[in-house]
Chain A
Amino acid sequence: MAMSGGVDSSVAAAVLTEAGHDVVGATLKLWGGATDSGCCSVADVDDARRVAEQLGVDHHVFNFTDAFEESVVTPYVVDHAAGRTPNPCIECNRSIKFGLLLERATRLGFDALATGHHARVVGGDGGMGRDGGMGRDGGDGGGGSHGAGLSLRRGSDKKKDQSYVLSMLSAGELARVVLPVGEMTKAEVRARAAALGLRTADKPDSQDVCFIHAGRGRRSFLADRMELHGAELVDASSGAVVGTVPAGELVTVGQRRGLGVAVDGRRRYALSVDVAARRITVGTSDDAVGARVTVDRATWVGPALSRRDRAYAQTSAHGAAAPCTWEGDAVVFDEPQPLVAPGQTVALYDAADPDAVVGAAVAMASSMASSSPSAVAPPSAPTSARA
């Protein structure tokens, strides 16, 4: 049971324990140590330890700081330097929680890894952990069918659904994953925590990127690790320079706040970021939408979509999914959507069953291909996005 010290994983551990599973809690030490902020602060580890103690389960701390630095933090910095907007939580889920930790759990003899995510793993052969067999040395340690027929579905609490950040997992991985609070609403989770007297019952949800100090912010974090460059704001329609920003690397495609420019009384949005050219192209809200999102690194829960297949795509953790067509190297929305920043994950959901995740891909660029021709992204934008 991956225990972050938050209320969801606390209750997840309780649910599994009550169901009679042989549960061992593990908290990942991913970052820092001296600070008392972030997902692996001393206070959070203490909370996880105390909850585990109360539930009568063993608790261990696993130090994955080096791997986290290499697989999550370094790419985060590299992406920003290239003008992309990465999603470090997804990268951490991919390489650390459902990568190294899942491998370790398997090696240590556990049948499944449980986390406190709000999503559901359903179907298939019942999974190793879903019908009472979970624990250690409880069987042959193999699921047999490697997740055939398994699906990943949105959590019951649609407002707290986290299927987006798990969308890049394969059925083979999901076969060894248990998500005990996926069927519960957040309110139910908190009520259960309170009823059990867990110390985390009223703990606020974590919000920001765990390794970035809430008080010091992303800018200061990145400034310590890379060079930030000023950039010109160039209006898409006139080609005129309408302003500057102190750090082009911190601008996200689609962003309005912080640019501080308006032309003819209309606020301007970032349409593209060209770090090499020190240029941010800006446009109106009408310009800041696109129907076509080119993507790469597609992964699939089960069978891959075929070109021209219909789907729903969601481009941010708490955004809404919109109907689209899968084009193999792009997602084309039926209606123009807010621009998707390069580096963001595009989660794909089943056209016939919109709660079921089909797969995921990473956005490279967003454009207006099937919409108004007036807001074509400047020529350097796709190049810089790949840089």
Chain B
Amino acid sequence: MQAYLDHAATTPMRPESLAAMVPYLTEHFGNPSGSHSVARRARVAIDEARDEVARCLGCEPGEVVFTSGGTESDNLAVLGAPGSGPGRVLCSAVEHHAVLHAAAAIGGTTVAVDPTGVVDLDALAELLGPDVGIVSVMLVNNEVGSVQPLADVAALVRARAPRALLHTDAVAAVGWLDVAGLAAVADLVSVSAHKFGGPKGVGALVVRNGPRLAPVLHGGAQERGRRPGTHDVAGVVGMAVALRVATDARIDTVTRVGAMRDRLAEGLTASIEDVGESAGPVGVGGVGDGLMVERAKIAPSCHLRVGGVDQEELLMLLDDEGVCASAGAACASGGIEPSHVLLAMGWSPAEARSAIRLSLGYTTTDHDIDHVLDVMPKVVERLRA
């Protein structure tokens, strides 16, 4: 029995996405930048994918820049925004490293978060000023699942740093929140295909309201000079299809997966001593999107602190039992580093080493949940013995 509960790391591909890609890896192999018929066939695919992505993300097709994934989108936003520069970048302390390290590379400043992983608006207000060129606050934290109050962030930015652009890393939100609606307040929005059933190595950055982005990579004129390089045609097509399917299925998926997540979290916290949800319980005080019950965290996120247990040992024994989960961020050699997100939430390094993330997805079944509820109490008991 294998229970894959690491959808926040990556998702299995949607079959529709894979099927749509194959022709562009075989007969329609053209380079969309060319002018002959084979090239034009590929060009049409890029154009149609751009229309689809724009529809799902609530922007104009011309505002979609195809990239190699979330990391590139985040780097392009933080480093390429016209007002970006040393001392002019603000981001939350719980951003993905793609934002955090890009910001750090040009002397950015991080904004504190509260114990549930939500950006501290008072701290943000204090740091905002006329010199700030770009503010980056993710829509959903990828580790603990906390939904960020992006509308409040946007209001503060517009009032106190009128020249700044607002970027949101929406990588963890697609398929779970109404990204088109919630991220409409942002000038720049990052998404990554493999987090919603598309292929790895392709993503997009929405660039709204016409700011002139400085490219991070230099080369050809693709993506209107904002992102050079021959298009990954199959990847772009696969992303567009996956995004359409995930967006169309969102309400059903959230309802179904949310119920399984709640059963998992409630079952584990009830059956194992000293286990708690890292960012607080799920159902209260959250930022909703007007379409469903408000949740403080996205529906698939089950992030737990398991007292007295080392995450490396817990993950190893869970893996032996067929449960794929994760914790923190992998370092270059593959070991686990204490999560910067949990440290920013006020956890000690020792506490951060007792955290694990179980992230559900569209393929998760009740059998997966039953299996975890069966094996995890035994595994934890063994490690505590």
Per-residue B-contact encoding for A9-44, CB less than 8 Å = 1, 0 else: 000000000000000000101000110000011100
Give the interface segment out of A102-110, A176-184, A305-313, A324-332.
Answer: A102-110
* A66 interface residue per 8 A CB criterion: yes
* B184 interface residue per 8 A CB criterion: no
* A221 interface residue per 8 A CB criterion: no
Q: Which residue of chain A has the shortest Cβ distance to B332 in the bound complex?
A: A42
Q: Is the CB of B382 within 8 A of A109?
A: yes
Q: Is the CB of B313 within 8 A of A42?
A: no
Q: In the complex, what residues of B have CB within 8 A of residue A108's CB?
A: 313, 316-317, 383
* B262 interface residue per 8 A CB criterion: no
* A49 interface residue per 8 A CB criterion: yes
Report the minimal beta-carbon distance from B6 to chain A, rounded to whole angstroms. Answer: 16
Q: Which B residues form the contact surface with A (CB < 8 A)?
A: 310, 312-313, 316-317, 319, 331-337, 349, 382-383, 385
Assuming A63-B336, A63-B337, A66-B349, is B313 touching A107 (CB within 8 A)? yes
Complex CA distance for A27 and B332, rounded to whole angstroms: 13
A33: contacting residue among B310, B312, B333, CB under 8 A? B333
B334: contacting residue among A58, A61, A104, A109, CB under 8 A? A61
Q: In the complex, what residues of B have CB within 8 A of residue A45's CB?
A: 333-334
List 11 additional A-B contacts (Cβ < 8 Å) besides A27-B333, A65-B335.
A29-B334, A33-B331, A42-B333, A45-B333, A45-B334, A58-B319, A60-B316, A104-B310, A104-B313, A107-B313, A108-B317
Q: Which residue of chain A has the shortest Cβ distance to B349 in the bound complex?
A: A66
Q: In the complex, what residues of A have CB within 8 A of residue B317's CB?
A: 108-109
Report the minimal beta-carbon distance from A111 to chain B, rounded to whole angstroms. Answer: 15
Pick 17 A–B contacts, CB within 8 A, sort by A.
Answer: A29-B333, A33-B331, A33-B333, A42-B333, A45-B333, A49-B334, A58-B319, A60-B316, A61-B335, A62-B335, A63-B331, A63-B335, A104-B313, A107-B382, A108-B313, A108-B317, A109-B382
Pick the 8 closest A-B CB pairs, nearest first: A63-B335, A29-B335, A61-B334, A45-B333, A61-B335, A42-B332, A29-B333, A42-B333
Q: Which residue of chain A has the shortest Cβ distance to B337 in the bound complex?
A: A63
How many A-B Cβ pairs are below 8 Å?
A: 44
Q: Is the CB of B333 within 8 A of A61?
A: yes
Q: Which residue of chain A has the shortest Cβ distance to B333 in the bound complex?
A: A45
Number of interface residues, chain A, beta carbon within 8 A: 20
By DSSP majority rule, is chain A's interface helix, strand, loop, or mixed? Answer: mixed
Complex CA distance for A108 and B318, rounded to whole angstroms: 11
Q: In the complex, what residues of A have CB within 8 A of residue B334's CB?
A: 27, 29, 45, 49, 61
Q: Is the CB of A33 within 8 A of B332?
A: yes
Complex CA distance for A341 and B102, rounded to whole angstroms: 48
Interface-central residue, A40, A41, A45, by most chain B CB under 10 Å: A45
Report the minimal beta-carbon distance from A357 to chain B, rounded to whole angstroms. Answer: 31
Q: In the complex, what residues of B have CB within 8 A of residue A27's CB?
A: 333-334
Q: Is the CB of A29 within 8 A of B331?
A: yes
Q: Which residue of chain B has the shortest Cβ distance to A46 in the bound complex?
A: B333
Report the minimal beta-carbon distance from B247 to chain A, rounded to whole angstroms. Answer: 37
Q: Which residue of chain B has the shortest Cβ distance to A104 in the bound complex?
A: B313
Per-residue B-contact encoding for A225-260, CB less than 8 Å = 1, 0 else: 000000000000000000000000000000000000
Complex CA distance for A29 and B335, rounded to whole angstroms: 6
Report the minimal beta-carbon distance from B115 to chain A, rounded to whole angstroms. Answer: 23
